[in-house]
Amino acid sequence: MIIAIVAVDRRGAIGKGGKLPWHYSADMKFFRETTTGNACVMGYNTWLTLKKPLKDRLNIVLSRQSQIEPQDFLVVLRELNSVLSLKDYLRCDLFVMGGEQVYRAFLPHIDKWIVTEVPLTVEGADAFVPGNYLEGFRETKTQQLDEGLTVRFYERTAA
């Protein structure tokens, strides 16, 4: 299953200056607990913000960049179709974790969205989820986290 996981501000912002424009411990803990034991696909800029592979997860970087150092638990793929075909061999879920271009590329393939709503508006944000990202999805569950965060779960509706 392909699951997109994202934290958004009130306007759908997900980044500013190549970084996550907030830090909520509750969100980081939720992300870690939700994705551990699975595969996480990200773009090159998201990879750069991590500094090292996410622990206990297969890290997949979707990028045409060639300067990524080989590491354990890291796979670099150059094409969306390569990631989609790899998914068939995984015995776990594939979490799409950004950034903006990766969410946009995977949009037709996503089965579920996990959206953490951040209670603020980031001035000068320069990365956003696609405007229509929840089109064709229905909310199935809501969960409250500490620090005033709300997580909403969405599943694709039958076509």
pLDDT in tens, 52-106: 899 999 999 999 877 887 788 899 999 999 999 998 899 999 999 999 999 999 9
β 58-62/39-43 pair status? parallel
Neighbour tally for 9: CB within 10 Å? 19
Each residue of 24-45: pLDDT tens digit?
999 999 999 999 999 999 999 9
CATH number, domain containing residue 82:
3.40.430.10
Q: What is the pLDDT of residue 69?
A: 79
What's the chain's average pLDDT?
94
Specify the pLDDT at position 159.
62
Q: How many domains does the chain have?
A: 1
Torsion of CA 12, 42, 89, 80, to 10 degrees: 80
| pLDDT digits 0-9 by tens, 103-153 | 999 999 999 999 999 999 999 999 999 999 999 999 999 999 999 999 999
Instruction: Give the bridge partners for 16, in sequence order.
Output: 19
Q: Which domain holds residue 94?
A: 2-156
pTM: 0.95
